[in-house]
Amino acid sequence: MKTSYLIFLLAICFQGTVSANCPDLSGNYTAALSESDVELQITQVGCEKADAIYDEYFFNYRSEKQFIFDGTFHITFESDTIVISEKHQWVNTVLHYEEQYRFKRDGKVMRTLGRMYLNKTNDLVEEKDIYQENDELYGKQTIYYNRKK
């Protein structure tokens, strides 16, 4: 009885552990969003980090970011009015992330919780939950990035 209980507890613990065998998200992807087409290029270095370039064509917008998969917040942008920080961590084969938007004027924080993973056809899926400053769910978004051949 005690052995089966211990195995059950270990199974639960390992279900949400950081993965040392993370999938390689490296590649070039495209997605058709409601306002524009986007391209995403990811270059991943093991399970430690990845560089991403995001091109959105309608607004002629380009963003370059580095994701560090250590589960701690890193500031990715700061201005006179806002600080944006992000943390990324592998849980099994899913990359979990949180983005925080802290407004300097009033200290309010908005955040996004997201997950990225490869589906069965090796395309990238991103699921986001977007929260207002009172932690009320504002919206959900799922983006399917098709891998370029």
Give residue-wise pLDDT tens across range 121-139: 999 999 999 999 889 999 9
17, 60 contact by CB (below 8 A) = no
User: How is residue 60 written in tokens?
Assistant: 């002629």
Name the pLDDT band for 14 (thresholds 50, 70, 90).
very low
pLDDT digit string, tens, across residues 78-106: 999 999 999 999 999 999 999 999 999 99
Q: What is the pTM of this model?
A: 0.80
Distance from C-alpha of 80 to C-alpha of 11, rounded to nearest angstrom: 47
User: How is residue 89 written in tokens?
Assistant: 């961590």
User: How is residue 103 written in tokens?
Assistant: 């407004």
Which residues does 63 contact at the CB level (< 8 Å), separation at least 6? 52, 53, 54
pLDDT digit string, tens, across residues 30-63: 998 877 889 999 999 999 999 999 998 877 888 8
Distance from C-alpha of 139 to C-alpha of 88, rounded to nearest angstrom: 21
| Measured torsion, CA atoms of residues 83, 57, 139, 68, in degrees rounded to the nearest 10 | -50
